Amino acid sequence: MYFDPEPKTRREDLFNMENELKELSDGLKRGKLVVVTGLRRYGKTSLILTYLNEEKLDNIFLDCRLLPSGMISMDSFLDLLEAELNRKSWAKRMLSRVEGISISEIGIKLKKRDINSLVDVLHVLEGKILVIDEAQELRRSKHRFDSIIAYAYDHLNLKIVLSGSQVGLLYRFLRVDDPEAPLYGRPFKEVRMRKLSDEKAMEFLRKGFEQAGINVESHVLEEARRRFDGVIGWLTYFGFSMIDRRGPIEKIARRASKLAISELEHALRIYKPAESRYKEVLRIIATLEHARWAQIKRGVEARIGRIPNNTLSSILRNLVDSGFLEKVEEGYKIADPVLRSGILSYW
């Protein structure tokens, strides 16, 4: 079913991603590293899970959104790894021979909580696929996870998939273009997820409601396409909400916007105490729809006083790298229309 809100795992539930599936598959056949990028709700996790499931590939899938906020310790990373290892029956078999790992009824436990234990596990994973979903989260650590990934790349027979919705932050973490960085110069393939075209978005909605056996008037579908753009996750959210409790589209859109706002607020917490400046920048851009640098500066200063140029530049860069803003010909705009309407209405 297209409107199932969980990330998809089966080809028949995955709409229109044949090319991306092929790119991912070819990338891993030919090379060792694939980076799946795309803003929030573009379908990254669904793509990766469907590929792994359809090809029946043994894998370890680490969802870095599950890591605690603040600095990431080795201990919390190993907790995440252990939880995933415990979900795989093959992992228990293979790890039983490894020193420093205890396996009981409670499950797999790494006794030593340091980087060496992590490297030991990576060695055991040879021949498998390691997926690190939302890998940019790993930048929040004093441990150099980029070095560990480079080690696995260089020395282990391991295929690696990294994904990120904060694309700029992901590349700032990986630093593939920085000669000083551990992953510099390693060939990799990027699979870039995109929005659906207007036609494809309409087709997705039509087919989704057909599967659910629900008749929705085409002007409502048009309205949904307009509000949710071609973002497949929002279209799914809309479809699911219509099936679940019907109700007018305005109400569904309002709930979606509130969700987007709460995600934004969560992400902005790391910029404390400069949060209010970030907020003003976003408000002005949302109001103007798209805004050039000088307009943003004027707008922010009119409301909260002087802001140095380099401060504004770094705020804009962080917001672009986090996927909240997009740079377009006319300047900057809010990348997600659902977030924009939330900023304008409830923030």
Ligand X SMILES: Nc1ncnc2c1ncn2[C@@H]1O[C@H](COP(=O)(O)OP(=O)(O)OP(=O)(O)O)[C@@H](O)[C@H]1O
Residue 16 CB, nearest approach to ligand X (Å) = 6
Task: Report the residue from 23, 33, 42, 221 that binds ligand X according to the rule CB under 6 A.
Answer: 42
Residue 45 CB, nearest approach to Mg ion (Å) = 3
How many other CB atoms are there within 10 angstroms of residue 246's CB atom? 11
The site map against Mg ion for 179-198 (x = CB under 5 A) is --------------------
Task: Report the residue from 46, 241, 318, 341 that binds ligand X according to the rule CB under 6 A.
Answer: 46
Residues 46, 47, 49, 55: is their CA dihedral positive or negative?
positive
Nearer to ligand X, 10 or 269 (CB): 10
Q: What is the dihedral of CA 41, 43, 46, 50, to 10 degrees?
A: 180
Contact 132, 286 (CB under 8 A): no
Binding-residue total with ligand X (CB under 6 A): 22
β-bridge partners, 291: 332
Distance, CA of 238 to CA of 41 (rounded, Å): 13
How many other CB atoms are there within 10 angstroms of residue 277's CB atom? 16
* Interface segment toward Mg ion; rule CB under 5 A; list 41-49, 170-178, 205-213, 297-305: 41-49
Distance, CA of 130 to CA of 16 (rounded, Å): 25
Distances (CA, A) of 63 to 81, 131, 170: 9, 8, 14
Residue 229 CB, nearest approach to ligand X (Å) = 13
Sheet of strand 159-164, all strands in order from the earlier edge strand to the far edge:
59-63, 129-133, 159-164, 33-37, 189-192
The site map against ligand X for 175-214 (x = CB under 6 A) is ----------------------------------------
Fill in the amino acid letter for 239: G
Half-sphere exposure of 91 (CA within 13 A, CB side): 26
Residue 278 CB, nearest approach to ligand X (Å) = 20
Longest Cα separation, the chain: 66
By the rule CB under 6 A, 266 interacts with ligand X: no
| Tokens matching residue 287 | 């109001």
Binding-residue total with Mg ion (CB under 5 A): 2
* Interface segment toward ligand X; rule CB under 6 A; list 10-18, 74-82, 97-105, 117-125: 10-18
Task: Report the residue from 32, 35, 41, 183 that binds ligand X according to the rule CB under 6 A.
Answer: 41
| Tokens matching residue 8 | 């998809």
Distance, CA of 296 to CA of 209 (rounded, Å): 42
Instruction: List the interface residues with Mg ion, window 45-84 (CB under 5 A).
Output: 45
Task: Report the residue from 117, 236, 241, 318 that binds ligand X according to the rule CB under 6 A.
Answer: 236
Task: Report the residue from 165, 257, 318, 341 that binds ligand X according to the rule CB under 6 A.
Answer: 165
Task: Report the residue from 27, 168, 230, 233 that binds ligand X according to the rule CB under 6 A.
Answer: 233
Residue 68 CB, nearest approach to ligand X (Å) = 18
Q: Which residues bind ligand X (CB under 6 A)?
A: 2, 4-8, 13-15, 17, 38, 40-46, 165, 232-233, 236
